[in-house]
A = this chain, B = another copy of it.
Amino acid sequence: MRKMKVAVIGCGTIASSQHIGAYARNEFAEIKYLVDVRQSHVEEMAKTYNVPFTETDFRKILLDEEVEAVSICTPNDTHAPIAIACLNAGKHVLCEKPAAINLEQAVEMKKAADRNNKILNIGMVNRYNTAVNRVKQMIDNGELGKIYHVNCSFRTHRAIPGLGGPFTTKAKSGGGVLIDRGVHFLDLIFYSLSQPNVLTVTGAVHSEMAKDMKQYTYLDMWAGPPRFDGTYDVEDYVTGMMRTSGPTISLNGAWAQNIGETAMFVEFLGDKAGIKLQYGGEDFKIYSAEKGALFETMPSFPAADMFFDEIDGFLRSAMENTKDRANIDHVILTSEVMESIYKSAELGKEVSW
């Protein structure tokens, strides 16, 4: 069996915990390069995974024609330039989410993929979650009947990542809880609903919990510790409502808030049955009715190896040059909607499509 030569660009947390291992275990892939600006870091990882070459500048690998596919795991603001350069150099690209820090860049990435006839997948890993796919299958089969509303919540008590760092610096990240976490929720909703047409989008954002960074109380911090001399100019709360050709959609998201509940779920309201899907889990609840009784059913499944499946899908997609579920063509709707939410928030009024 043929093995594609692969480069992983950006060897931080997501690459080292997921991408590199997934390529290493895949029968279709052989990692030729690890690329990271931190030289000693990337050399150590190369040793662990028996990767022959390391680079500190991704442009070096553009010239190596053997490299057919790359994973981009760098900060959000570099997604577009690196992806476009790689596509222009004839590589297939799997780019971590979000596609880019704004819609304009995401569109440029899609154009580069189309122009070069290469695959551009975005790391919307929930499209490989077992529970999400079971839900989508039930919806496709009509088991929920007509879905008229979707309610989604991505709210946590205290979870601002890396306060003062790239996550909370708009120029680096493109935004806060919406682009960091909401992206997953919106994408799995549009995936499950098979991409309805969006008609109107209204939204508002708030940045309140760490206005004074030193006053922000938390128990632990992912991607921390805080950098009090850094920037905090992104939203920690977002609310919004959309009309589509299918259901209406309401959303509320919080990185941090003075409500001490974790509420991370998507509710699909159908006229025949409904589903409440806990985000990131392997189970969901189905609410139905039969013979005068009401039923609540919660199946739980073993966790899929989502990143393995995401990367396996990308490799197959690249080898056959056919677009699959994680292709930019399907994922870009999420970028469009997020752009509209930010725009509506800025204008203080609803945006029509």
Question: What is A's interface to B at a CB cutoff of 8 Å?
Answer: 144, 146, 148-149, 151, 157-158, 199-200, 202, 204, 206, 208-209, 211, 217, 219-220, 237, 239-241, 243, 248, 250, 252, 254, 257-261, 267, 269-274, 276, 282-283, 285, 287-290, 292-303, 348-350, 352
Set of chain B residues within 8 Å of A276, measured between Cβ atoms? 259, 261
A241 to B217, CA, bound (A): 29
State in angstroms the CA–CA spacing of A158 and B274 once bound together. 13
A220→B303 contact, CB < 8 A: yes
Cβ contacts under 8 Å, A285 to chain B? 260
| Pairwise interchain contact B301-A293, C-beta atoms closer than 8 A | yes
Task: List B contacts of A293 (CB < 8 A).
Answer: 217, 299-302
Of A144, A199, A204, most buried by chain B (CB within 10 Å of CB) is: A204
Can you pick out 17 interface pairs between chain A and chain B where the beta carbons lie within 8 Å of each other?
Answer: A149-B206, A158-B294, A200-B202, A200-B349, A204-B241, A219-B302, A220-B302, A239-B241, A254-B269, A259-B269, A260-B285, A260-B287, A260-B300, A261-B276, A283-B294, A294-B300, A295-B298
- Across the interface, which residues of B come within 8 angstroms of A296, CB to CB? 260, 296-300
B157 touches A294 (CB 8 A): yes
Closest to A267 in B: B259
Contact B297 A298, beta carbon cutoff 8 Å: yes
Nearest B-chain residue to A206, judged by Cβ: B148
Q: For A350, what are the chain B residues with a Cβ–Cβ distance below 8 Å?
A: 200, 202, 349-350
Cα distance, A243 to B241, chains bound together (Å) = 12
Given the complex of chains A and B, what is the CA–CA distance between A261 and B153 in angstroms?
15
Cα–Cα, bound, A223→B113 (Å): 44
Give the shortest distance, in Å, between A247 (CB) and chain B (any CB). Answer: 9
Which 8 pairs from chain A and chain B are nearest by CB? A258-B274, A350-B350, A217-B289, A296-B298, A294-B300, A208-B271, A204-B248, A258-B287
Determine whether the beta carbon of B348 is less than 8 Å from that of A200: yes
State whether A274 touches B250 (Cβ < 8 A): no
Report whether B303 and A294 are in contact in the complex, using a CB–CB cutoff of 8 Å: no
CB distance from A274 to the nearest CB of B (A): 3
> Which chain B residue shows the least CB distance to A291?
B217
Query: Which partner residue on chain B sits nearest A348 by CB separation?
Result: B243
Closest to A269 in B: B257
- Cα distance A200–B350 when bound, in Å? 9
How long is the Cα–Cα vector from A149 to B251 in the complex, in angstroms?
Answer: 13
Are the CB atoms of A219 and B301 closer together than 8 Å?
Answer: yes
Pair A287/B300 contact, Cβ less than 8 Å: no
Q: Is the CB of B300 within 8 A of A297?
A: no
- A199-B292 Cα distance, complex, nearest whole Å: 42
In the bound assembly, the distance between CA atoms of A298 and B270 in angstroms comes to: 19
Bound CA span A254–B352, Å: 26
> Smallest Cβ distance from A256 to chain B, in angstroms?
10
Q: Hey, which chain B residues are within 8 Å of A199, CB to CB? A: 348
